[in-house]
Structure 1
Amino acid sequence: MSDKFVRAQSTTSSTLQLPANGAQEGRRKRTGLFRSLFQTLVPSQTEGRKSPWPLIATIVIWVGLAYAGYAFAVHTLDKQQQYVNERFEQVQEENQKQMIALGEQLTQVQDEMKTVQDGLSNLEEDLQLTGETIGGTNKTKEALQDRIDQLNKQLVDLKASLKKLEDAARAW
């Protein structure tokens, strides 16, 4: 045979044989994610010159997304601040109304206490003036004592109410 022809081996096996050195030369070598991104953004000198527009478009999109996120956050925070301010003003108005109502109740209770005290002092004066004339009538003394006890009880209740109103006014 001549040197121009190469002998071919024929096998009965249905699989292909690997090269003799055992290396997989036809397979592409994988690189890491960041390395492949870097190679995409900055091509090596051996590759042909690529257009810069994909890189510019990517940067513009990222800047646009960042700005849109910032604008949305600012808008949301402004709306929340406005709601908080409105609610705060409403609470202040309600508190002011309640303070006015408590003040009115306090003056009413004080007026009632003054009328009760005036009634007690008038009753005591009447008792002193009539004490000598009444003398021995037990029914009149009991009736007067009952009235005094009722007025004293009413005075104690009014003092307790006044104390509660003053405590409530201090709490506000």
Structure 2
Amino acid sequence: MTPSLLEALHWSTMDISGAEYRGKEVPLLVVPTRYLLKLDTTMISYCDMQRVLFEEEKSAYNQAMQQNICDGKIHPLTSIHHTSTYNSLCKLMEYCLSPAVTTLQDRLKENELRLSMLQEEAKQLEADTQNMRNGSPRRLMNHGAGGKSSPTAQSRHPFSNQGSPRSPSGGSRRRAC
């Protein structure tokens, strides 16, 4: 360490030694995360903030270029400096946006997968509704009990593959197989 740095360190520790510490109570509230985390709003405000920063840098660059024009010409070093500074700031903003872009791409893939699953489920439900309209309810129950129904229908109705709770003979208890 240089002597000047040591001296600055010494003076800063001397300033702290006479300091008084006061306790201050800070209220702490615990709330459910659904009230705190609104991802859509956060992403929109984050993207808006990045857009505003880009516009500010762009206008500052244009203003700096306009201020340095003399007799319709700008000095080449000034132009190079302003342009490189602007490019560096744009790269920095790009690096800051990289996690947000990755998150949005991941969310898009998840949403596309979820959409395809929901479309398949909708088709299955429409087919079930059509079968219910065309055929008798007993035929539909036999179809579900035979294991030919879709896995999504079985997951919605976990007891659908166990048969009816009453035996065909009319008794009130199930028969053991």
Same fold at TM > 0.5: no
Calculate the TM-score normalised by the size of structure 1. 0.29
Larger Rg: 1
Larger RCO, structures 1/2 (Cα 8 Å, 6+ apart) = 1
